[in-house]
Amino acid sequence: MHITSMDHAFDLTGKNAIVTRVNKGIGLGIASAFAQQGANVIIMARDAVTAKDVVEDFKGKYKNKYAFYKTDISDFNSCKQSVNEAIKDFGSINVLVNNAGIGTVGDLLDMDEDLTPWFECQDIDLNGAVRMCYLVCKH
């Protein structure tokens, strides 16, 4: 598609977008921008209450299709189930935004030898993004 003006340069009408962790901040901003541009927004997050509130808010503002799938990004089977359900419900995925992430608190040398906070962070921030890319790109 050749863009001749910026009027519709970001038109996402009919596109299906997954955004992880859309309860506030950057994720909510990205999901809102996609909804404003006509995308169907698929929210995948652990926080069902906030995510469902976002879906209801979007339904009241925009005419697109929205859905929430409770997803633990650190669990492959949870990601797989959510992606498969989204594909079944939406038919395809055009956009994936890996927004879910956590941070570690404290210094590395102050952690116990099992380094649990470090590995939890890596499992969500890095491995979670790879899981989601793998599963979505398989389709």
Measuring CA to CA, which residue among 135, 67, 58, 69 is closest to residue 96? Answer: 135
Residue 8 tokens, joined:
């519709």
d(C-alpha 45, C-alpha 62), whole Å = 21
pLDDT in tens, 86-110: 999 999 999 999 999 998 878 888 9
pLDDT in tens, 12-68: 999 999 999 998 899 999 999 999 999 999 999 999 999 999 999 999 999 999 999
Phi, psi of 93 (to 5 degrees): -125, 125
Residue 15 tokens, joined:
């596109």
104 burial type by CB count under 10 A (0-12 exposed, 13-18 middle, 19+ buried)? middle
